[in-house]
Structure 1
Amino acid sequence: MKIPHHHLHLNNWRKVMPAVLGLVLCSSISFAQTPNKAIIDAIVKEETDNSQLEKLAHELFDGIGPRLVGTPQMKQANEWAVAKYKSWDIDARNEKWGEWRGWERGISHIDMVYPRVKSMEGTQLAWSPGMGKKTVTAEVIILPDLADSAAYAAWMPSVKGKFVMVSMNQPTGRPDYNWQEFATKESFDKMKAERTAMTDAWKKRITKTGYTAKTLPVALENAGAAGILTNTWSAGFGVDKIFSAYTKTVPTVDIALEDYTLLYRLTEGGTIPKLSIHTESKELGVVPTFNTIAEIKGSEKPDEYVMLSAHFDSWDGGTGATDNGTGTLTMMEAVRLIKKFYPHPKRTILVGHWGSEEEGLNGSRAFVEDHPEIVKNLQALFNQDNGTGRVVNLSGQGFAESKDYLSRWLAAAPDTLKNRIKTNFPGTPGGGGSDFASFVAVGAPGFSLSSLNWSYGSYTWHTNRDTYDKVIFDDLRNNAMLAAIMAYMASEDPAKTSTVKTEGVKWPIPVKAIRRGGMDPVK
C-alpha cells in the first residue's frame, strides 16, 4: 500500500497510520513460519551421530570411481544410487534424457626407456583412442617454433612415428603461494615475468601452426605421429587437469609436470628420450544417458515441488570426489534424513542427480525441457557443486523477493550452520556455472549452496587428485543438515515462492540440452 506523501495532510496521516501498521502486522503474521523444532533437532542429531556419508563416499568414489558421461562407471553409479534410495524406502528411477559416445578407460603404461628407465606419471585423456594390445616405443619431439603455417606444413612429415609434445615447458612446479612464502620479492617477480613471456610465446607458437589447440593434435596424427603428449598443470604440487582428447586414432596422454618438464629438458638438450606407451581404452558405440531422480510424494500439495540438486557425472582423472561427488552425497544424505524424520512432506520433494553437467549442464537442461509441470510449480531448488567445503554463500539469484523466503527458511537452521553463511539479496542470476542455472534461466527459483574453497580450483576441480582423501566430512555433514532443513522449510511454507525478477537485471537465455554428444571428438 503506497501513500504519496504530497497528498496527505498531517491529520489525514494520523488517521491512516493505524491502518497501515495493521496491514504490515497482518502481512508479517500471514507469512510467519514456525518450524517444528523436534524435526530439526532430530535431523541434526542423526547426522551428528549416525552419518552415512563416509560409507556412501567409499562405495561411490572407491568402489565405482569416476563417472565420465558415456562410461560403464556412470551407468553403474546410476544403478547404485537407485538401489541405495530404495534401501531407504525412497522411490527412485533412472530417466533417460539422451545418448553419448560410449568409452571405457583401460590399462595405461607410460615409461621412459632412454636415456634411462623411469615409469612416468601420466593419464590418458578422456575419450582418447586406445592402442589395443600393442605397445609403441618411439622418440619424443617438441613442437618447434617456426615462422608460419607454411613452415609447419613443411615440418609435418618429421613427426611420423614420434610422440609429439604440444604443451609449454612450465618454469616451476611450485605453486605461487609457495614462492610467496619463501622467495624474495625480486625472485618471485622475475619468475612470474618469465612465465608470462613463455606462456605468450607458446600461444603464438600454436597460432603460427595455422591450427588451434583442438585441431593441431588431429593434424599431427594425420601426419603419422605415434601419439600426442600434453601437460595441463593446475598450478599446485603434483596436480594436472584431465580433460578430453581430440585425436581419433592415436592416444593423447597428459604427462604430469614433473615428468613432462624432464622430457622437455632432455629433448631440448639434445638427449632425445624414448617413451614406451601402452593404452587399452576402447570405444563402446552410442550409449544412453540418464538422470537419477528420487522422490518423496507430497501429502498436501503433491503437484508443487522442492528439489535438491547435484550433478552426478565427473571428469575421470581422479574419482570425481569433490566435483561433484560431495554435492551428490550431500543431497542423498539430506533426503535420507528427510525420509526418516519428515516422511510425509507437504510438497513433493525431488532429488536430481544430473548427467553430463561437465559438457554443458546437459542433464539438468534436458530435465527442464522435459518437465515443464515441475519447473512451473517449483517452490525452490537447492544445488551444491563447488567442492567439499561447508556452505558459506547463498544468493537470491536475482529474484526480487528471495530475501523474504530464503532468510525465513535459513533462520530455522542452528546458529552453527546459518551464522557462517553470507547472503546476497536479491543477487544476480547465475548464467551457467552449475545445474541451478538451468532452472534460473527459465525463471524458476534455483539456488546455489556455495561452499568454502579448500583450494578447489587448483587441487581438485577437474584434476587427477580429486579423490576420497580430499573430502572434509565434518563440512559435508553440516551441508547435509543444511540442505535437509532448507528443503523441510520450503516444503512447509504456507506461501508459494515468488519468482518476480528484480527490475533492471539482465536474465540469462535458456540453452538447449545436447541430447546426442561426443560423437565427433574434434568438435
Structure 2
Amino acid sequence: MRKNTILKSLGLAGMLVCTASAVAQDKDAVVSAIVQEANTNSYLKNYAFELVDMIGPRLVGSPQMQQAHDWVVKTYTELGAVARNEVYGEWRSWDRGTSQATMTFPRVKSLEGTQLAFSPATKSKGVEAEVVAMPVFNSATDFQAWLKTVKGKIVLIGMNPISGRSDANWKESASDQGYDKHQRLKNEQQKKWDLSMSYTGYTRRTLPLALEDAGALAVMDSYWTELPGLTRIFDAKSKRIPVFNIALEDYGTLYRMAERGVKPRVLLEGNSKELGTAKTYNSIAEIKGKEKPNEYVVLSAHLDSWDGGTGATDNATGVITMMEAVRILQKVYPNNKRTILVGNWGSEEQGLNGSSAFVEDHPEIAKNIQVVWNQDNGTGRIVRIAGSGFEKSYEYIGRWLQYLPEEFRKEIQTTFPGMPGTGGSDHSSFVQRGIPAFGLSSTSWDYGKLTWHTNRDTYDKIVFDDVRQNAIIVAILTYLACEEPELVSRDRIVLPIDKNGKQMEWPTNLKSTRISGN
C-alpha cells in the first residue's frame, strides 16, 4: 500500500473512532440528563395520588375505570402527547357502592369484608340468615346430599385454616418440632380440602352457582393470602345471590360457631348497581418520531385493576412508571427518532384483552414495532429481564443495558434468549404475534401475598424510590431503542422438545375477549 493511501486509511479510521466516541458521549449526556431529571423533579407521587387515591380501584366497565381512562388522556395531552381512548369492545358495567357485613347472633359485631366484584346486590334492607359452613365431603354423593340442606342459609364455602399466622411467623417463633407439626397438619388439611372440592365439580369461584340453584341466600368466602388481614378479591360468578369475601379473622369466628352448632346469624348489605354495559377502552398516547414516525417503541402497562384495594401495585405503579418516563423524555429528548407509543390497556385482569385487541386492530403499527417494554408486577425495582424467545435479543438489550447507571445494571439478571410467554401480562399479547416484547420484572416486596389482588393493594404500599428507578430504566431503554439505526431482529428460537417428545410451537393462545362473558 502506498504511503498516502495508508495515511488516508488511518485518517478515516481516526474519524470513525472519533465519531463513535462522540455518539457514545452524546448518549451518555442524555442518560445523565434522564437520571438528573428523575431524581430532582419527580412527578410520581402526584401521579399516584391522582390515580390511586382520587380515582381508586379500576374495575373494567366501572365508572371509576372510565375516570381513569379520561385522566390518562388528559395527563398525556398536557405532557405534549397525542392521546386518545380507543374503543375495542364493551363490558358489563357494575358500580360497587357500599357493602356491610354484620354478625347479629350470638352477639353483634361488624365484620371486615366486602362484596366481590360483579356480585348481585342485596335487597334494600339486606339479607339476614343463619350461617352454615360447608363440610369436607368424602364423595360426590355427599356433596349432592348436603346441597339439599342449604336453602334459606348463608353458606361459608372456604376452608378455615388451622392457624391465622404466617409461615414466617411460625418459623421464627415456634420450636423446630412445633413448626414441623404445623406444616404437616397444614398440608394434610389442604390435601383433604382439595379432594373434597374435587367431589363438588366446582371451584371456589363457580360453586356459588350451584348454591343459588339450591336455594342459598348468600355466599361468604375468605380467600386468605397467609398474611393477617389479607384476602384476595376477585369476581362473583353468581347470577342472583350476593357473594362476600370476609377477612379470615372474622370468617374463622363464624366457621367455628357454625361447626359447634351455635347457628350464628349474619346480615349482609350490598348496595352495588348494575349499569348495563359500557364501552371498554385502551388509553393510547403517542409522541411522533421526528425521523421514523412509522416505527414505534411501545411502553406498556395495564390500567384496570381488581377493586378490593385501590390497585396501587397492580398496576398503578406500572402506569405511573411509563408516565414519568414519558415526562422525562419529553424534557431531555425532544427529538425522538421513532414514535413513542404508550398503551394503558383495559381488561388485562380478565385475560389480556385490551393489549390483544390493540395488536389485532393495528397490524400497520404491529409490523413496525421496535420493542415493547411492559411493567406489571408490583412496586419493586426492575431486576430481571428475559429475552421472550427472540434469538438475538441479547445483542441489543445487552448493549442497551450497558448505559444504565452501574448500581442499577449490576442488579439486573438477564435470561437470553428465554421463552415466549403464554400469558401472565400484556407483553405476551405482542410476543405471540412475533413482536419483541419484554416484561421488566421487579423485586418482590412480598407482592404475591401482600398486594396482588388483595384488599391491601393501596397507596401506602408503593415504594417510590424503586418506582423512580424503574422510570429511569424505562426512559433510558426507550431512548436507546429510539436511537437504534434499524429495527431489531425478530428471529425466534427453535423451541425445545416437550416432556412428551413433541416439538414445542410458538404460542398463539391469546385472543381478545371484547364482550363480557364471551
TM-score of the superposed pair, with normalisation by structure 1: 0.91
Q: What's 1:81 paired with? A: 72
1:243-285 deviation per Cα after TM superposition (whole angstroms, max 9, x unaligned): 1111111110011111111111111122221111100112111
Rounded Cα–Cα distance in structure 1 between residues aligned with 2:437 and 2:363? 14
Shift of the 215–383 alpha-carbon distance from structure 1 to 2, 3 Å rule, reads: closer
Task: Identify the residue that residue 517 of structure 1 maps to in structure 2.
Answer: 516
Amino acid at match of 1:239: L
Alignment of 1:272 with 2:263, yes or no, is yes
Residue matched to 2:96: 105
Residue 84 of structure 2 is matched in structure 1 by 93
User: SS at the partner of 1:275?
Assistant: strand
Q: Is residue 362 from structure 1 mapped to residue 353 from structure 2 by the alignment?
A: yes
Deviation of residue 214 (structure 1)?
4.1
Relative to structure 1, is the Cα distance of residues 32 and 68 closer, same or farther in structure 2, using a 3 angstrom cutoff? farther
- 1:509 deviates by 1.8
Following superposition, the deviation at residue 208 of structure 1 comes to: 2.9
Q: Note if contact 1:297-1:344 (Cα within 8 Å) is conserved in structure 2.
A: no
The counterpart of 1:207, out of the listed 178, 181, 198, is 198
Indicate the residue corresponding to 1:423 in structure 2: 414
CA distance in 1, matches of 2:218, 2:31: 57
- Aligned residues with identical type, % of pairs: 52
8 Å contact kept, 1:296–1:348: yes
Q: Report the residue type matching 1:261 in the other structure.
A: G
Aligned partner letter, 1:518: G
Name structure 1 gaps, 5 residues minimum.
1-25
Partner residue, 2:11: none
2:297 matches 1:345: no
Unaligned runs of 5+ in 2: 1-15, 497-503
- Alignment CA distance shift 1:304-1:265 (3 Å): same
Q: 1:411 aligns with which of 402, 423, 430?
A: 402
How far apart in 1 are the matches of 2:337 and 2:189? 60
Q: CA RMSD in A?
A: 2.1
Structure 1 Cα separation of the partners of residues 342 and 86 of structure 2: 12
Deviates more, 1:394-403 or 1:31-40: 31-40
- Deviation per residue, 1:193-241 (Å, 9 max, x gap): 1122212222232333454434421121122211001111111121111
Taking a change above 3 Å as real, the CA distance of residues 210 and 426 of structure 1, as seen in their structure-2 partners, is closer
Deviations 1:427-470 (A, max 9, x none): 22222111111111111010111101110000011111100000
In the other structure, the counterpart of 1:233 is 224
Moved more, 78-87 or 506-515: 506-515
- Whether the aligned pair in 2 keeps the contact of 1:132 and 1:281 (CA below 8 Å) is no
Q: Distance in 1 between matches of 2:391 and 2:144?
A: 58
For the Cα contact (< 8 Å) 2:422–2:509, is it kept in 1? no
> Contact 1:31/1:494 (CA < 8 Å) preserved in 2?
no
Q: Distance in 2 between matches of 1:168 and 1:510?
A: 33
Distance 1:62 1:512 in 2: 33
Task: Name the CA shift for 1:145/1:476 in 2 (closer, same or farther; >3 Å).
Answer: closer
Is 1:101–1:287's contact at 8 Å kept on the other side of the alignment?
A: yes
Asked whether the 8 Å contact 2:158–2:204 carries over to 1, the reply is no
Contact 1:33 1:408 in 2 (8 A): no
Matches within 5 A, 1:379-418: 379-418=370-409
Contact in 2 for aligned 1:148/1:210 (Cα 8 Å) = no
Instruction: Give the Cα–Cα distance (whole angstroms) in 1 for the partners of residues 421 and 143 of structure 2.
Output: 43
In structure 1, the residue matched to 2:317 is 326
Q: What is the alpha-carbon distance in structure 2 between the residues aligned to residue 361 and residue 215 of structure 1? A: 21
Local SS of the residue matching 2:149: helix
Structure 2 contact 321–467 (Cα < 8 Å) conserved: yes
SS of the residue corresponding to residue 159 of structure 1 reads: coil
1:437 matched to 2:428: yes
CA distance in 2, matches of 1:187, 1:112: 34
Counterparts of 1:32 and 1:194, CA distance in 2: 66
Alignment deviations for residues 51-73 of structure 1 (CA, whole Å, 9 cap, x no partner): 01001101110100011111111
1:141 alignment partner AA: V
Q: Distance in 1 between matches of 2:81 and 2:39?
A: 22
- Please point out which of 280, 298, 321 is paired with 2:289: 298
Q: 1:64–1:77: 8 Å Cα contact kept in structure 2? A: yes
Deviation of residue 476 (structure 1)? 0.4
Secondary structure, counterpart of 1:307 in structure 2: strand
SS of equivalent to 1:324: helix
**Of 150, 156, 163, which residue of structure 2 is paired with 1:159?**
150
Taking a change above 3 Å as real, the CA distance of residues 401 and 270 of structure 1, as seen in their structure-2 partners, is: same
Q: CA–CA distance in 2 between the matches of 1:253 and 1:33? A: 60
1:178 to 169, 178, 182: 169
Equivalent pair of 1:438/1:510 in contact (CA under 8 Å)? no
The aligned counterpart of 1:479 is 470
The whole-number CA distance in structure 2 between the counterparts of 1:237 and 1:62 is 23
Measure how far apart 1:380 and its partner are: 0.8
When normalised by structure 2's length, the TM-score is 0.92
Match of 2:50 in 1: 59
Given candidates 465, 487, 493, the residue that maps to 2:456 is: 465
Tell me which residue corresponds to 1:11.
none
The answer to whether the Cα contact below 8 Å between 2:385 and 2:441 also exists between their aligned partners in 1 is yes
Matching residue's letter, 1:86: T
Counterpart secondary structure, 1:123: strand
Is contact 1:296-1:343 (8 Å) kept?
no
1:457 match: secondary structure: helix
Aligned amino acid, residue 41 of structure 1: S
CA deviation after TM superposition for structure 1 residue 304, in Å = 0.7
Q: Structure 1 residues 405 and 151, CA, compared in 2 at 3 Å: closer, same or farther?
A: closer
Q: What is the number of equivalent residue pairs in this alignment?
A: 495
Deviation at 1:378, TM superposition (A): 0.9
Alignment correspondent of 2:501: none
Deviations 1:142-196 (A, max 9, x none): 1134554444444434322211011111111111111111111221121121122
Structure 1 residue 502: Cα displacement: 2.0
- The letter of the residue matching 2:135 is P
Report the more deviating stretch, 193-202 or 86-95: 193-202
Secondary structure of 1:475 counterpart:
helix
Q: CA deviation at 1:510?
A: 4.5
Counterpart of 1:371 (choices 362, 371, 380) is 362
Question: Is contact 1:160-1:226 (8 Å) kept?
Answer: yes
Query: Structure 2 matches for 1:110-129, cutoff 5 A?
Result: 110-129=101-120
Partner of 1:261: 252
Q: Which amino acid aligns with 2:302?
A: H
Provide the rounded CA distance (Å) in 1 between the counterparts of 2:432 and 2:128.
Answer: 51
Q: Which residue of 2 aligns with 1:3?
A: none
- Does the Cα contact within 8 Å between 1:148 and 1:208 map onto a contact in 2? yes
Comparing 237-246 and 38-47, the one that deviates more: 38-47
CA contact (8 A) 1:33 1:493 kept: no
Answer whether contact 2:150 2:215 (CA < 8 A) is retained.
yes
Instruction: Please say which of residues 103-112 and 35-44 is displaced more in the overlay.
Output: 35-44
Take 2:71 and 2:508, find their aligned partners in 1: how far apart are those partners?
Answer: 34
CA deviation after TM superposition for structure 1 residue 32, in Å? 11
Amino acid of the structure 2 residue aligned with 1:511: L
Secondary structure, aligned partner of 2:306: coil
